[in-house]
A and B are shown apart, each in its own frame.
Chain A
Amino acid sequence: MPDTRDDIRDDAPLTTAKHGDALDEAKAALVEDRGDSLVGRSVTINRPRAELYAFWRDFARLPAFMENVERVDMLDERTSHWVVKAPGGRTVEWDAVITEDRPGELIAWASTEGADVPNSGRIDFRDAGERGTVVTATILYDPPAGLLGKLIARMFQREPAIQARRDLRRFKQLMETGEIATAARNRRELEEEEEG
């Protein structure tokens, strides 16, 4: 007999839930949670787990594939300072602290008090056999200036869900091919794209 009770949760990730209490559950999965908008995205990368973790753990290298992150400075082993592009040529900044770090498996972080965009999240690295590693990013954030900020961000194609998906694709390209694919024909076009 198939189980038809509707209080049974399915196996779909929390970030794909249509409604319900997914946000609370996602928050419960984080060591510390900051923010009320949830973004989650997985990508499979044909490289070993340890290698992907090691690249990511050096936060200063993240701007190589995170389009909107201008700079990340490591202040100490656990604290980093983030400078991120915002609509209208401005930037938003925050400090983030690593809340959990399991080499080859998990990196979790939370922004500290006074962040322009309070946020927290975790990056999980799971073995995927011959296919390599599944990298899952789960991010909670408070959009700047509430809904209006989100709309503006969307207009600028910087809506975090889209951005997370594109950033993870670029991470995959960089790890699998050693470069980030571009259709630009020359440096001028490439710069225009990057300023986009």
Chain B
Amino acid sequence: MRALTWHGKHDVRVETVDDPEILNPRDAIIRITSTAICGSDLHLYDGYIPTMQVGDILGHEFMGEVVETGPGSTLEKGQRVVVPFTIACGSCYHCGKHQYSACDNGNPADNQDIAQFLYGQPMSGLFGYSHMTGGYAGGQAEYVRVPFSDVGPIVVPDGLEDEQVLFLSDILPTGWQAAEYAQIEPGDTVAVWGCGPVGLFAVQSALLMGAERVIAIDHFPHRLELARRFGAETINFEKSDTYEALMEMTGGIGPDACIDAVGLEAHGFFLDNVIDQIKASTFLGTDRIHSIRQAIIACRKGGRVSMPAVYGGLVDKFPLGAFMEKGLTLRTGQTHVQHYMPALLNAIVEGKIDTTFLISHRLPLEQAAEGYKMFHGHQNEVTKVVLKPGMAAAA
């Protein structure tokens, strides 16, 4: 089959690789019909995530048709399914509590050593996202092997297009969980750092959950415009001082809840960000944390900080004092995708949530490398790239 493989920083290629096969009873093989490039794939593209190996197949947002099932799978050939990016067994203690991204068993035993060493306990496996999270082949390919297929994939009702449901695999539940973790109360003002896909879905979710005002922060005008369409107010951090603007817009109180949807590759020429970049490039620190610092400083006393943004390692100059003195609450984590999928699929069917606005580019899988380059270089216009293995290549 053809698949997008990682070869190093800014080097991904579509190559011919061996087809996947059923290996365990609960496996299924999916023929991919649509798969997206995620903002977090750019962290791999930029070489920020350790434990990648040459030849790894990327991609954790995908859907397709069931073509083969193991004896323990509950799926049937021909069904259309969206696959969660978290690989969870459904039977361990954490899965029982719907903490699917903390599944004890989704990550192979040997790979768990890396995360146990770095984080204290290993997390679940993830598709196409380094060997620390399992080393599983991802879905930017023609076919993928899906373990625990009786627990993860959700069957798509007839009549829905791929593009209406594809984002159930990651970014829609991630944006929703971020808003849920902000514990929104009536009358709340919620500030969202980053208007990438997760940030935009967090904006949408926060409004659906009853936030009175949502303030979206970015520097790409097109992305801010998308946030505005949902009813958010906006701050362009290149034009205004974010902290001052937030304080003035909230009558000197600060936002009740702050959502950091930016993560470890923050943009912007701020002193702390520049220092972080130097440290990251010299391996003195690994993550650039400008947005979470600012969220903590801006957040009102006793407020909530929700952090769907991806961080991988150690940080410096974390404002722990402000965090303690103001009595803030921080909630974060990889998304428990399986927990949110059924309700969000319903919301899509009922027309309460539309995700198709996000897709700016559609490309055949063969042009995936070009898709990475575009997404990486033109974040204002390129909001989401969807790859279609079946699509004919552009002339």
Give A residues with C-beta under 8 Å from B. 44, 46, 130-132, 162, 165-167, 169-170, 172-173, 176-190
Contact = CB atoms under 8 A, between A and B. Distances in A.
A177 B21 contact: no
Interface of B: 17-21, 23-26, 72, 87, 89-93, 96, 104-113, 125, 134-137, 145, 147-148
A179 B92 contact: no
B93 A132 contact: yes
Given A166-B113, A186-B20, A187-B21, A176 B137 contact: no
Contacts of A186: 18-21, 23, 145
**Main SS class of interface, A:** helix
Contact of A185 (B93, B105, B137): B137
A46 B125 contact: no
Contacts of B108: 180-183
Contacts of A184: 23
B125 A181 contact: yes
A173 B109 CA distance: 9
B135 A46 contact: no
B109 A176 contact: no
B92 A176 contact: yes
Nearest to B147: A181
A181 B109 contact: yes
A184 B72 CA distance: 18
A183 B72 contact: no
A172 B104 contact: yes
Contacts, number: 87
A183 B107 CA distance: 8
A35 to B, nearest CB: 24
Contacts of B104: 172, 176
A156 B125 CA distance: 25
Given A44-B93, A177-B26, A185 B109 contact: no
B105 A182 contact: no
A172 B105 CA distance: 8
B52 to A, nearest CB: 13
Nearest to B137: A185
A167 to B, nearest CB: 8
A11 to B, nearest CB: 20
Contacts of B24: 179-182
A166 B109 contact: yes
Contact of B107 (A167, A181, A190): A181
Contacts of A162: 113
Nearest to A184: B23
A193 to B, nearest CB: 8
A176 B72 CA distance: 14
B105 A176 contact: yes
Nearest to A173: B105
A183 B127 CA distance: 9
Nearest to B57: A185
B87 to A, nearest CB: 8
